[in-house]
Amino acid sequence: METPPGPSWEQKTTRAPQREPSLQTTVQSSTDAVGGQKIYGPKRKTTLQTDLWYHDAMSVPLPSPLSPPPSPAQKTIWLLSPYHTGSHRAWAEGYRRHSRHCVELLTLAGRFWKWRMQGGAIELAAQANARLAAGERPDMVLATDMVNLPAWLGLVRKRLPADTPLVLYMHENQLTYPWRPGEKQDFTYAMINWLSQLCADVILFNSRYHRESWFDELPRLLKHFPDYNQLGLINQAADKSRVLPVGINAKAIADYKTDADNAAPPREKTAPLILWNQRWEYDKRPEKFFNLLYRLQAEGMSFRLAVAGENFRNVPKEFEQARRRLAGAIDHWGYLARREEYVALLRRADLVISAADHEFFGVSVLEAIAGGALPLLPNRLSYPELIPPTLHPACLYADEDELFALARQRLLMPRRAPASLRTHVTTRFDWQTVARRYDDLFSTLSARSARRTEQGQIHASPSPGAR
């Protein structure tokens, strides 16, 4: 399970809308013995029509009973966040801050992730039932992937109106997320994800890569079980799934100015600054990143190094070794808890490099680009979705040799992120843009639910001549 590292500005570890043109997404499928229906799997390809809507902590106390009710156009959304820390918290609070709707957070502390997925629904249901008993009613419920949604629904079914729309946001999943080396995968948590998807009216993924990788692997999970695996439900879940990205404070980062920025020496007189702002975890492959730097150092290349990001265990040996071997190049080392310090570091970075084996979205990379750093990223995972196709040759690499060549070139001819790339990030992924996409979708879902309720009441009413 991904252990996220901090708020979006603290280097991470999330209508009848105006839609982008509908894109064709190729996924794997095979024909299974379920009425001859196409099922996602590894055998042959089919084409799935997908709408891609890009443009895009702590327990929160109950609002005061004297709080004014939302306006008629404003919907009340209950956001369930049982693992409320890091990127999960940043996504929830970022949306609440920028939404035109009234987003109320029902949360638990961000620790013990397995217990949160197993038992967090009990406490979240208690919070919801207390609100419902006080007369509150949500227009919609938005749950993170850490919620056991069937359990939560069972515990609130006596009070929550049955037609309340349910949206599940897949910030991550426990099926395709890589487990630690030597740790045996436990399908329990992937099944919680799957059962929650079946309960939801809409499933949102933070990237197309995340969506496709989930539905490609899901048949193999279900075929692991002996019978009654209901493979035909996979297509139904895919049909109600969409892609909506995580928002970031891109414009605030791009516009941020500090005294330190103004006092910094001219950039051409200093060696380029290479940034690591990801989690200090195995799936980010820090050994590949540092091996690149050792290789550049052996070639006599001059650079400075800033290592930020958050660590949730003992300092990995790769980082201890790198701190010794690269001591002469280190400009900064360690997590930055203060927003101003982190943004100032983003504004000074020339290159941000990822060697990750896993990435569902890429918040830390987008934040670095917003600050002006040129990215060097694997040409896979979610990264190609973040970069305009015209810049793929300059920003994406196929293997370690190509990464070395691109990094060497950028050190010899320093170049920060071009204006077109920074504009791309601020226009597509800034919360002001992304929140509008969320809001439009959720308004549409709520309106449809209200119409169905109204129609049901009309049909249930006796005719004027009835006795």
What residue ranges define each of the domains in the chain, with the CATH number in brackets? Answer: 53-64+73-206 (3.40.50.2300), 250-427 (3.40.50.2000)
| The pLDDT of residue 313 | 72
Where are the extended beta strands (E) located within 138-179?
A: 140-144, 166-170
Neighbours of 450 (CB within 10 A): 14
The per-residue pLDDT string of the chain (467 residues; one tens digit each, 9 = 90 and over) reads: 444 433 333 333 333 333 333 323 333 333 333 333 333 443 333 333 333 332 232 233 333 333 455 555 899 999 999 999 989 999 999 999 999 999 999 999 999 999 999 999 999 999 999 999 999 999 999 999 999 999 999 999 999 999 999 999 999 999 998 887 788 888 999 999 999 999 999 999 999 999 999 999 999 999 999 999 999 999 999 999 999 999 999 999 999 976 655 555 555 568 999 999 999 988 999 999 999 999 999 999 999 999 998 887 778 899 999 999 999 999 999 999 899 999 999 999 999 999 999 999 999 999 999 999 999 999 999 999 999 999 999 999 999 999 999 999 999 999 999 999 999 999 999 999 999 999 999 999 988 877 766 666 555 555 554 43
Provide the whole-model pTM.
0.81
| Closest CA relative to residue 166, chosen from 182, 175, 176, 154 | 154
| The pLDDT of residue 420 | 97
| The pLDDT of residue 158 | 96
How many CA atoms within 13 Å lie on the side-chain side of 310?
21
The CA distances from residue 166 to 72, 108, 142, in Å, are: 20, 19, 6
| The pLDDT of residue 41 | 43
| The pLDDT of residue 268 | 57
- Return left, alpha or beta for 187; rule: phi > 0 is left, psi -120 to 50 is alpha, else beta: alpha
| Closest CA relative to residue 212, chosen from 336, 332, 381 | 381
| The pLDDT of residue 58 | 27
Where are the extended beta strands (E) located within 88-223?
A: 102-109, 140-144, 166-170, 202-205
**Whole-number Å distance between alpha carbons of 464 and 310:** 67
Burial of 391 (0-12, 13-18, 19+ CB in 10 A): middle
Kindly state the helix (H) or strand (E) to which residue 276 belongs, with its residue range.
strand 273-276
